[in-house]
Structure 1
Amino acid sequence: MTNPYKGATGLRRIWNACGYSIDGLVIAYRGEAAFRQLVWMAAVLIPVALILPVGLISRALLIGSVLLSLIIELLNSAIEAAIDRISLETHPLSKASKDMGSAAQMLGLIMLSMVWLLVLLDRF
């Protein structure tokens, strides 16, 4: 059985994928308060990382930790949307899935905080 949405190849596939990705970012920004907050945090932290007097590896770690937090939130939101699509009823497996997505984001934010703290302590 073939997926009818997988027909594009070559540059057309890449073009389509970019459009779907932009759609996903827009949907997340409009519908997820946590994603919006992280976008605004990134809008502050990434320019700060670019102007801090740190080495390239430290700069990459600072920016990478911010981007990773955005990625985790997108995946967490996707999990929540899929669970809600299946059923809005309370179910232990639905709760577990959503809680694990939330835990992933919590660990991502802890990592972001630790990276920023350690890079800044090392520099200053």
Structure 2
Amino acid sequence: MFDNKNKPKGLRRIYFASLNSFRAFKWLYFNESAFKQEILLLLLVIPCTFIFSISGKEQILLILSIVFIIFTEILNTAIEAVVDRIGLEINPLSGLAKDLGSASVLVSILMAVAIWLIILL
């Protein structure tokens, strides 16, 4: 049972929260191919931003647009995990939740493409 009064506080809370986050990143990397592809994309675009004659602010914006894709992928995977936890039977609302999560990833990809095109063109 969860005891709200015995929750870690201060630096101890930050430490345990970090452990949970690193465990989640490890799980994503080994279980979600889209996450792995997006991390690879990030690792490829970071050096590419140094090739272009752009400002530091534009460079950060290009990189953050890819980080935002990773962020939405993490949320999408969380939605899928919760829906699957509730039940694996086909349900229109479960399908809608998963489709909406997927749509959020698509929107983040379209935003990144638009940012890259606007800055580089």
Q: Same fold (TM over 0.5)?
A: yes
Q: Aligned pairs, how many?
A: 120
- In 1: Cα distance, 2:13 partner to 2:49 partner: 34
Q: Which residue of structure 1 lines up, in the alignment, with residue 29 of structure 2?
A: 29
Larger deviation, residues 81-90 vs 47-56: 47-56
Q: Normalised by the size of structure 1, how large is the TM-score?
A: 0.90
Q: Deviations over 1:100-123 (max 9, x none)?
A: 0000000000011111111111xx
CA shift, 1:52, in A, is: 3.0
- In 2: Cα distance, 1:48 partner to 1:119 partner: 13
Larger deviation, residues 86-95 vs 57-66: 57-66
Q: Which residue of structure 1 lines up, in the alignment, with residue 119 of structure 2?
A: 119
Q: Are positions 1:43 and 2:43 aligned together?
A: yes
Q: Which residue of structure 2 lines up, in the alignment, with residue 3 of structure 1?
A: 2
Q: Are positions 1:60 and 2:55 aligned together?
A: no
Q: Which runs of 5+ in 2 are unaligned?
A: none
Q: Alpha carbon RMSD of aligned pairs, Å?
A: 1.6
Partner SS state of residue 49, structure 2: helix
CA shift, 1:51, in A, is: 4.4
CA shift, 1:8, in A, is: 0.6
- In 2: Cα distance, 1:101 partner to 1:91 partner: 16
CA shift, 1:54, in A, is: 1.0
Identity value in percent: 37
Q: Normalised by the size of structure 2, how large is the TM-score?
A: 0.92
Preserved CA contact (<8 Å) 1:46 1:66: no
CA shift, 1:46, in A, is: 1.8
